[in-house]
Amino acid sequence: MGSSSHLQRPSGPNRTVSASSFAEAFSIARRNLEDEISHELPVTSSELPSPALSSSDAPSTPALSASNLTTPASLVTPLTEAQTPSLVDSGYDDNIADNFAFAFDIDGVLVRGGRPIPEAIEAMKVLNGENEYGVRVPYIFLTNGGGKTEEERCEDLSKQLELTVSPGQFICGHTPMRELADKYTGSVLVVGGEGEKCRSVAEQYGFKDVITPGDIIKANAATAPFRKLTDLEHTNSRDLLERHGVEKLSDIVIEAIFVFADSRDWASDLQIILDIAMSKGGRLETRSETFEEGPPIYFSHSDVVWSAAHEHVRLGMGALRRIVETVFTDVTGGKKLETHAFGKPQVSTFEFATRLLQQWRTTQHGLVAARRPLDTVYFVGDTPESDIRGTNAMDAKSKHTSWYSVLVKTGVYEDGTEPAYKPRVLVETVLDAVNHGIEREMRRRRAKQSQRDAKNQGGLMQKLANITVQDMS
């Protein structure tokens, strides 16, 4: 299916970019967005960030919390990197694709087991103008992965793909959790990731008191009988009683649980999540009589498997989520636990991505949506259940932009099997995906042009006919 790598090289003049003006351009885009959102999303302050994010897993609507309306800045990633000059008022480059864009999943599409998929580097070059049309195409990244700050993830990806990836074009699984920092201002439990990384990401997002499973085990080693903290973990874990100025753990209340990244110790994390889910209103080391008082639990995504270095897919956060829900029912004598998940395939995540993409097109490429509407977004993914399902659901919902799903064979999807959710097109690699999208757009452009030519020619013939008539009279 893929049209191989016949698109040719060089030409693409890449814009060089500088810092402050990006922030400037960004804040203009953000203000516009703020106006747009406040007209579009009337929600009450009592709403959860996303009823859409229910345990049903069904891709659904946005439902941003009230805090979004007042802090749209948090809709996108931090903007600390040096970036583009202000292009908002200076028009745009003719070589930029002004009506289509790409969005990419990362694991299994561009990277696998920490290494780039070979065709990914070429695919990025093609997008950046090294194709026979000399066209450069805007793109963003939308991964369910996480565990580091967006800046760190972008640095990794930049090295892997041999180009500069900016936080302004990047969304990871826990990026939307930033919006909940205003909602949960007390203590929260943050689970997953390496060492203290996720605690520090959560603190950067604005969470005021971030507790980890390590802190709880340090305070009471009996919490997890089979987990012994390493010396480093013991040093890094905080002294909860001292920090909170209390005498017993039950004086500390967890307002919400956030699973930011994959757990590094499923048994102890599962124990601690369940303990809090069964507690009296989030109070550590207590038990509710009804098992209905636990705080909300958020997962940054719900992928059961993902594509890593191993030849077969590996278990992901979605598996832990299933276990938490199932075991909760077992240990409470039949009670149901409803957890929430961000990430793909939630439509709210794709809507979030649409806003980021619009901002990126404006700030990086000078394309203002009102004048240069985005007709098509090509989403390239390897997981039918999250990438393709979400893209198709977004396509069905989106009024103005078509979301076109492309499934690659380099990750979770196994060639020869029937994908659970059907893509618009199935290709071998991300390079084929990029070539397919560009070719399709160029064909459409040519078709439109010949329609226009035919129309113009028709008009001309009509004029000639009129002239003849006039001459005759």
Contacting residues toward Mg ion, per CB under 5 A: 105, 107-108, 382-383
Closest approach, Cβ 337 to Mg ion, in A, equals: 27
> Which CB sits closer to Mg ion, 382 or 432?
382
Task: Give CA–CA dist 107/269, Å, rounded.
Answer: 24
For residue 467, give every residue at least 6 positions away whose Cβ sits within 8 Å of its Cβ, in sequence order, or none: none
Task: Give CA–CA dist 111/160, Å, rounded.
Answer: 8
> Which CB sits closer to Mg ion, 107 or 122?
107
Contact 359, 373 (CB under 8 A): no
* 104 bridge partner residues: 141, 380
Closest approach, Cβ 442 to Mg ion, in A, equals: 28
Closest approach, Cβ 107 to Mg ion, in A, equals: 4
Task: Give CA–CA dist 223/180, Å, rounded.
Answer: 28
Q: Got the DSSP string for 330-361?
A: HHTTS-----EE-STT-HHHHHHHHHHHHHHH
- With CB atoms as reference, the residue minimizing the distance to Mg ion is 108
Closest approach, Cβ 86 to Mg ion, in A, equals: 34
> Which CB sits closer to Mg ion, 105 or 385?
105
Closest approach, Cβ 318 to Mg ion, in A, equals: 12
> Which CB sits closer to Mg ion, 107 or 179?
107
Closest approach, Cβ 316 to Mg ion, in A, equals: 10
> Which CB sits closer to Mg ion, 169 or 362?
169
Task: Give CA–CA dist 100/188, Å, rounded.
Answer: 40
Closest approach, Cβ 411 to Mg ion, in A, equals: 5
> Which CB sits closer to Mg ion, 349 or 359?
349
Task: Give CA–CA dist 124/138, Å, rounded.
Answer: 11
For residue 243, give every residue at least 6 positions away whose Cβ sits within 8 Å of its Cβ, in sequence order, or none: none
Other CB atoms closer than 10 Å to residue 156's CB: what's the count?
Answer: 15
Q: Got the DSSP string for 124-163?
A: HHHHBT-STT--B--EEEE-S--SS-HHHHHHHHHHHHTS
> Which CB sits closer to Mg ion, 217 or 317?
317
Q: What are the counts of helices (DSSP H) followed by strands (DSSP E) for the chain? A: 13, 15
> Which CB sits closer to Mg ion, 139 or 328?
139
Closest approach, Cβ 143 to Mg ion, in A, equals: 7
Task: Give CA–CA dist 166/164, Å, rounded.
Answer: 6
